[in-house]
Amino acid sequence: MTAQLRLDQIRDLVNQWEQLSGYSTTVADWMINEMADAMDYAGLGHAITSLYDVGQYMAQHIGDPSTGSTLWDSSKAAAMPWARYGMSSTEYDAKLSAFDSAFRVLTGQSAPTDVIERALHQHQGTMTGQQFETWLLTQDSIKQQYGWLKYGLDFQQFQTQKLNMRTQFGRELSDQEAVTQLQYHHAAQGANMGVGVQPTLSQAERKQTQIGLSANVVR
């Protein structure tokens, strides 16, 4: 690709990006030239070729207009988070809604901003709600925090298991206690694996929960 074609490519992307920002930001010529020349800007690992890439470049150039800076106005950048991902506001809102729904199904909680941002960055803004759900199940930190995910349960299925356990124990178990019971149940189902010492419940309670769980197969 010639230098001129490369500049034209970046100008076209920048024009689209300016439209996403409601034409509230004008990208300076020196930025366009820098984007065209850069082979690996802002740790992208590749040359700038997409609206996501332009958004990430602009996110590295947030400035204060009161100083006469030609960089992206910090207040405008904060007001339009979708622009840093190369999305329209409608697309961004729809994606956040899909992500939040997927997170709630698995955990019963709203999706944390840092988790959403990590997913968007890792997949350059292309991830769907279904892909987000699949991605969550590969994140060790998420499975550690919401232990029932390690045993193939979503939040509602975990609540059903807790209800079964309450019937067996005669009391409400904490999430941690219930997850521990899932752990022992799965260990007991393994080849030649017995149930170890119960750290939080009595031996009688442990026996009760094994009976209850066996009657309600965990997928």
Q: Give the C-alpha separation, 181 to 163, whole Å.
A: 13
Q: Give the C-alpha separation, 33 to 29, whole Å.
A: 6
Cα–Cα distance list, 88 to 35, 50, 57, 82 (Å): 21, 14, 17, 6
Q: What is the model's pTM?
A: 0.78
Q: How confident is the model at residue 185 (pLDDT cuts 50, 70, 90)?
A: confident
Q: How confident is the model at residue 194 (pLDDT cuts 50, 70, 90)?
A: very low
Query: What count of Cα atoms within 13 Å lies in the side-chain half-sphere of residue 153?
Result: 22
Cα–Cα distance list, 69 to 22, 34, 55, 60, 92 (Å): 20, 17, 18, 14, 28
Helices (H), 21-112: 29-37, 51-59, 74-79, 89-107
- Dump pLDDT digits (tens) for 18-37: 999 999 988 999 999 999 98
Q: Give the C-alpha separation, 148 to 129, whole Å.
A: 20
What integer pLDDT is reported at residue 200 of this predicted model?
39
- Dump pLDDT digits (tens) for 50-105: 999 999 999 988 987 777 677 898 999 999 999 999 999 999 999 999 999 999 99
DSSP per residue, 188-200: HHSTT------SS
- Dump pLDDT digits (tens) for 120-168: 998 889 999 999 999 999 999 999 999 999 999 999 999 999 999 998 8
Q: Say how far residue 63 (Cα) sits from the centre of its chain.
A: 27
Position 208, amino acid: Q
